[in-house]
């Protein structure tokens, strides 16, 4: 017994001292092995779009650089709208606010309409996915309604609510709800027979089945619907706000157009794009988080 | 022989529009408590259909199933099923998959810590306790099938229904799991109804082998007793004359008298 033990120790000793020697040498290796790939990955992600952005701005500058150009060049834009770019948080009352407040007002409307659409859309989607009769009755109607452009709902909702605020929220609701309904229904209909059989053998009740089988099984579909829905909401809010007025990024753009502040419009568009992008990523992130936590 | 589970004159006819197809005709079988029964037959003859009827997942067109003298016509944990493709819920861990069943079946009768111990006990039984926090996507096919078996056992079923439980596994894993199931059956004395394609598996595990004729309108062609002592050891059996006789009887039934009807199809 002692012989193999000694045999084991003898070769181990130089091995240990070798590690001691290697340690100071390995430390820069860690930097090279760990930090470098991350840096490279970040660079490959960030550098191409930044380069493309610079190229596009340069082209824009060349195209709109002449004094007679109808649209502002980037340099003119920055000098014209510097107030707006530098102070997103100012608030002088009324409609004279920084862009942050306009975006914030729009986001509030979107949030309310979208949450209502998510709740109602998932509920209706479950109904359609579960019941063959609900599907036969409702699916054709929904297929027609979902092709109605968002703004076409605005006059009707103005007539119904007699107020801009609930009308805008309703337009968001009606815009976002169709993809949520349809994707939820597809997800529920595609729950594998096996999972349903498991639930039947265990005798899960209706509510338990909904929470423990249906929602997790359909979650990827539901989140696809939610993601399409948030994109459409953000598309619709700008147009709706142009028509209803008040604080909000849509009316800000309309107001800038009426005052011929083209530079301000461009700045607002950048904000709209960035916020839309963030909303999409937010829902995608929640979806991924839910998939992991479930 | 007392009837623990009785399958009583079952006919199954599927109707799709105008087309009707008679899958099972007059299937009757009486199973005693603690018996291990295998059903063997060519693909498509209606084995899964029969198992689903016993499970209550499918209503027979005529006839019925009696468990301890009481008719069963809906699924329930007293007839736990191990499905052919494991059917674990992929969003739950191994532990939670078993716990889902345990919580539902024993919510009223056992405390929280008792239920936890029972989940772990059943995972131990199939040697899967070490992977309790893994998701089904992170474990092998054989391991998934083990968890499926643990989930079924954890319901303390009166009858355990296995639909080709080892069908999708490689030969080594399959042998390993067969040994596990034999051991569990020996220990717990469950009543088991198992579907299989594999002649050796049927002879090794079963007290009786139910051989089905080919569809359409399949029925029980023959029932073979396997009078081998338990515990059985696969190595000793290879040369056992009783084993060889049973094996060739099944092979003879399947390949000489009831050849697969449409091998060309
Ligand atoms: N819901 C159904 N509607 C119509 N026909 C069905 C239905 N379910 C099964 N069948 C038919 O019943 C027959 C038997 O099917 P079953 O799944 O029971 O076969 P099996 O013996 O389990 O086959 P395998 O060994 O390949 O699993 C098949 O011909 C199949 O097409
Ligand atoms: Mg089958």
B95 in any annotated domain? no
User: Going by DSSP bridges, is the β-strand pair B19-31/B5-16 parallel, antiparallel, or unpaired?
Assistant: antiparallel
Please tell me which residue of chain A has the smallest CA distance to B76: A201
B52 in any annotated domain? yes
B89 and A216: CB-CB below 8 Å? yes
pLDDT of residue A284: 93
Please tell me which residue of chain A has the smallest CA distance to B156: A202
B193 in any annotated domain? yes
B53 in any annotated domain? yes
The sign of the CA dihedral B52, B53, B56, B60 is positive
Pocket-forming residues, ligand 1, beta carbon under 6 Å: B 14, 16, 21, 23, 41, 43-49, 215
pLDDT of residue B188: 87
pLDDT of residue B2: 64
B132 in any annotated domain? no
Compute the CA torsion angle A108, A112, A117, A122 (nearest 10 deg).
Answer: 110
Under DSSP, is residue B202 helix (H, G, I), strand (E, B) or coil? helix
- The number of domains in chain B is 1
- Domain region containing B227: 5-78+157-264
Q: What is the pLDDT of residues B197-249, one digit of tens each?
A: 899 999 999 999 999 998 788 999 999 999 999 889 988 888 899 999 999 99
B93 in any annotated domain? no
Tell the residue nearest (CA) to atom 7 of ligand 1: B14
pLDDT of residue A252: 93
Residue B217: CATH number of its domain: 3.40.50.300
Q: Does A212 touch chain B (CB under 8 A)?
A: yes
**Ligand 1 centre distance from Cα of residue B48 (Å):** 7
Do B237 and B231 form a contact (C-beta atoms < 8 A)?
A: no
Q: What is the pLDDT of residues B142-159, one digit of tens each?
A: 899 999 999 999 999 999
Cis amide leading into B231 (omega within 30): yes
Which residue out of A192, A201, A203 would a mutagenesis test of the B interface target, given it has the greatest number of B Cβ atoms within 10 Å?
A201
Of A195, A219, A291, the CB nearest to B89: A195
pLDDT of residue A291: 79
CA distance B152 to chain A (A): 9
B79 and A201: CB-CB below 8 Å? yes
If 0-12 CB within 10 Å is exposed, 13-18 middle and 19+ buried, where does residue B99 land? buried
Rg of chain A (C-alpha set)? 28
B147 in any annotated domain? no
A198 and B87: CB-CB below 8 Å? yes
B124 in any annotated domain? no
pLDDT of residue A294: 62
Cβ-Cβ contacts under 8 Å between A and B: the total is: 49
Tell the residue nearest (CA) to atom 8 of ligand 1: B49
Q: What is the pLDDT of residues A2-21, one digit of tens each?
A: 444 444 444 444 444 444 55
Q: Which residues of B touch A219 (CB under 8 A)?
A: 91
Q: Which residues of B touch A192 (CB under 8 A)?
A: 87
Q: pLDDT truncated to tens, each residue of chain B (265 aa)?
A: 568 999 999 999 999 888 899 999 999 999 999 999 999 999 889 999 999 999 999 999 999 999 998 999 899 999 999 988 878 999 999 999 999 999 999 999 999 999 999 999 999 988 899 999 999 999 998 899 999 999 999 999 999 999 998 887 888 888 988 998 998 898 888 899 999 989 999 999 999 999 999 878 899 999 999 999 988 998 888 889 999 999 999 999 998 888 766 554 4
Under DSSP, is residue A24 helix (H, G, I), strand (E, B) or coil? helix
Q: Which residues of chain A have pLDDT under 50?
A: 1-19
Which residue out of B75, B88, B150 would a mutagenesis test of the A interface target, given it has the greatest number of A Cβ atoms within 10 Å?
B75
CA distance B23 to chain A (A): 21
d(CA B7, CA B5): 7
The DSSP result for B148-191, as a single string, is HHHHHHHT--SEEEEESTTTTS-HHHHHHHHHHHHHHHHHH--E
Question: In chain A, positions 190-209, which contact chain B (CB-CB < 8 Å)?
Answer: 192, 194-195, 197-198, 200-204, 208
């Amino acid at each position: 017994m002692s012989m193999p033990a000694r045999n084991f120790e003898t070769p181990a000793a130089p091995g240990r001292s070798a590690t001691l020697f290697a340690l100071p040498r390995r430390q820069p290796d860690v930097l090279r092995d760990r930090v470098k790939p991350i840096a490279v990955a970040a660079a490959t992600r960030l550098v191409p779009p930044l380069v493309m952005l610079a190229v596009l701005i340069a082209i824009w500058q060349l195209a709109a650089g002449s004094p007679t150009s109808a649209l502002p060049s980037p340099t003119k834009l920055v000098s014209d709208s510097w107030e707006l770019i530098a102070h997103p948080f100012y608030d002088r009352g009324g409609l004279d606010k920084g862009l942050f407040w306009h975006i914030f007002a729009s986001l509030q409307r979107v949030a309310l309409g979208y949450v209502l659409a998510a709740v109602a859309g998932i509920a209706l989607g479950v109904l359609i996915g579960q019941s063959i009769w609900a599907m036969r009755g409702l699916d054709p109607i929904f297929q027609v309604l979902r092709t109605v452009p968002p703004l076409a709902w605005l006059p009707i909702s103005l007539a119904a609510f007699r107020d801009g605020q609930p009308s805008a929220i309703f337009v968001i609701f009606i815009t976002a709800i169709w993809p949520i309904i349809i994707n939820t229904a597809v997800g529920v209909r595609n729950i594998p027979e096996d999972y349903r059989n498991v639930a039947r053998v265990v005798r899960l009740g209706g509510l338990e089945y909904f929470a423990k089988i249906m929602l997790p099984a359909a979650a990827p579909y539901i989140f696809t619907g939610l993601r399409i829905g948030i994109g459409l909401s953000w598309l619709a809010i700008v147009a709706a706000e142009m028509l209803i007025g008040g604080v909000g990024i849509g009316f800000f753009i309309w107001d800038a157009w009426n005052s011929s502040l083209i530079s301000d419009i461009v700045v607002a568009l950048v904000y709209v794009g960035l916020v839309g992008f963030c909303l999409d990523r937010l829902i995608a992130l929640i979806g991924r988080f839910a998939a992991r936590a479930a | 022989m007392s009837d623990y589970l009785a399958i009583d004159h079952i006919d199954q006819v599927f109707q799709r529009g105008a087309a009707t197809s008679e899958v099972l005709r007059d299937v009757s079988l009486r199973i005693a408590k603690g018996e291990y029964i295998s059903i063997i037959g060519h693909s498509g003859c209606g084995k899964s259909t029969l198992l689903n009827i016993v499970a209550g997942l499918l209503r027979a067109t005529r006839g019925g199933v009696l468990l301890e003298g009481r008719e069963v016509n809906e699924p329930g944990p007293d007839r736990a099923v191990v499905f052919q493709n494991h059917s674990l819920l992929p969003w739950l861990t191994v532990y939670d998959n078993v716990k889902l069943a345990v919580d539902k079946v024993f919510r009223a009768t056992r405390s929280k810590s008792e239920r936890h111990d029972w989940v772990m006990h059943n995972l131990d039984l199939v040697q899967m306790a070490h992977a309790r926090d893994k998701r089904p996507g992170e474990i092998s096919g054989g391991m998934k099938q083990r968890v499926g078996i643990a989930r079924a056992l954890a319901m303390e079923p009166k009858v355990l229904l296995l639909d080709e439980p080892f069908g999708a596994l490689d030969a080594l894993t399959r042998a390993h799991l067969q040994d596990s199931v034999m051991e569990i059956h020996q220990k717990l004395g469950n009543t088991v109804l198992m579907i299989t394609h594999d002649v050796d598996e049927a002879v090794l595990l079963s007290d009786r082998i139910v051989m089905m004729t080919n569809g359409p309108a399949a029925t029980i062609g023959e029932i073979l007793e396997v009078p081998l002592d338990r515990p059985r050891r696969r190595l000793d059996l290879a040369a056992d004359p009783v084993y060889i006789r049973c094996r060739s009887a099944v092979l003879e039934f399947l390949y000489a008298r009831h050849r697969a009807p449409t091998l060309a199809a």
